[in-house]
């Protein structure tokens, strides 16, 4: 095997590992209900916070609140996955590498 290819693969692996680590500190947020619910996720799809406007709670409509939370979480996850995809594809040059988003 050509040593330069092996070296390039090792460099790519190091860059991908660093990018994965950095994704843990990058956050995205999403809101629903005109800002009544806000969810913040990182690049590993871990939830950092959920903010719910007191007006939504005072309304007492549990089903509405559930829908708003679900909508905000789903949007935040989609944004986070898009962020991960863009970051990693910039490193891999669009190559489809198994195990990477």
Mean pLDDT throughout 45-65? 92
Q: What is the CATH number of the domain that holds 7?
A: 3.30.1310.10
Distance between CA 42 and CA 10 in Å, rounded? 26
Q: For the whole model, what pTM was predicted? A: 0.74
Distance between CA 86 and CA 101 in Å, rounded? 9
Mean pLDDT for the chain?
Answer: 86
pLDDT, greater one: 39 or 89:
39
Q: What is the span of the domain harbouring residue 32?
A: 3-92
- Contact residues for 83 (Cβ-Cβ < 8 A; gap 6+): 23, 26, 28, 43
99 occurs within a structural domain: no
**What residue has token string 């500190």?**
25
97 occurs within a structural domain: no
Which pLDDT does position 71 carry in this prediction? 97
DSSP β-ladder status, 47-52 and 37-42? antiparallel
Total number of domains in the chain: 1
101 occurs within a structural domain: no
67 occurs within a structural domain: yes
């Amino acid at each position: 095997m050509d040593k330069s290819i092996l070296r390039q693969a090792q460099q790519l692996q190091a860059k991908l590992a660093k990018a994965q680590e950095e994704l843990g500190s990058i956050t995205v947020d999403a809101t629903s209900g005109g800002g009544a619910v806000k969810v913040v996720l990182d690049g590993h799809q871990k939830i950092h916070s959920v903010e719910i406007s007191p007006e939504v709670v005072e309304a007492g409509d549990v089903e509405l609140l559930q829908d708003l939370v679900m909508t905000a979480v789903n949007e935040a996850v989609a944004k986070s996955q898009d962020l991960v995809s863009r970051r990693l594809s910039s490193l891999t040059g669009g190559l489809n590498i198994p195990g990477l988003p």
